[in-house]
Amino acid sequence: MKLIDSHAHLTSDDFNEDRSFLIKDLSNFAVNYVVMPACDLEDSIDVLNLSKKYDNLFAQVGFHPQNIDSFKDGDIEKLENLAKDPKVLAIGEIGLDYYWQYDNKDEQKEIFIKQLDLARKLKLPVVIHSRDSIDDCLEILKDYSDLKVQIHCFSYSYIHLMECMKRGYYISIGGVVTFKNAENEKNAAINVDLDRLMLETDSPYLSPEPYRGMRNDPRKIVEVAREIANLRGMKLSKLAKRTSKNAMEFFNIK
Ligand SMILES: [Zn+2]
């Protein structure tokens, strides 16, 4: 069995003690590859540098909507330069977050759009973070039907899922799907087209059961896969194979 964690923040300080051990240990847990999102310019540099050290890691570059305070003129050009490295597979994580801050919506949208334009220019897929903002995200993305889109940590309604499927988007599901009352996530796991589903941990956050509340890491992704396989009445090995194939296609991993 082979699994791909499509979203883990291995540059987080939470991994300072054991990062290199953990990355080498991934193969013992059937985790073939981890794709790391970035949160701002400094993190984009860190993510890229880390990915270059290990064959099983890949990078994204971008500004998370929560981190746009540090965004400066010229940063798009800097992201563009970083993205020329073959280890960079996507622009992410980018989007809108009205949960943490809602008085800067226009600024969030502006920087989101600049990064979508960059992805279009570089012909790279985009990884979308959205919180309390899915309708605005989908509205903006209407103008980018040429881009490959992944909605990370999908937690929205059936109607939103159907809209994403209609547009050919990929969704990624994380540890929340293992929580008892995670109705949206469980419904999405059951109803998503199997060729549009990816798995993620969002490490160090959102540990799946039975590790809820503890630091998350990509070795726990099998719990996410197991839960989705159970919900769909599929074999774990088959789900692993399909979701890995989807991630390879989406990120263009050769
Ligand atoms: Zn994330």
Ligand 1 center to 9 CA (angstroms)? 6
Q: What is residue 206's three-state secondary structure?
A: coil
> What pLDDT shows up at residue 102?
87
Ligand 1: centre distance to CA 104 (Å):
20
pLDDT tens for 176-220 read: 999 999 999 999 999 999 999 999 999 999 999 999 999 999 999
Q: What are 153-164's pLDDT values in tens digits? A: 999 999 999 999
Structure tokens at 224: 């996410």
Nearest to 126 by CA among 250, 34, 43, 242: 250
What's the pLDDT tens digit per position in 117-152? 999 999 999 999 999 999 999 999 999 999 999 999
Provide the pLDDT confidence category of residue 254 given band limits of 50, 70 and 90.
confident
Mean pLDDT of the chain: 97
60: tokens are: 């994204």
pLDDT of 38 reads 98
For residue 121, list its beta bridge partners: none
Using the mean position of ligand 1's atoms as its centre, give its distance from the Cα of residue 234 in Å: 27
Backbone angles phi, psi at 13, to 5 degrees: -60, -20
Model confidence at 4: pLDDT above 90: yes
Which amino acid, one-letter code, is at 47?
Answer: V
Statement: residue 68 has pLDDT above 90: yes
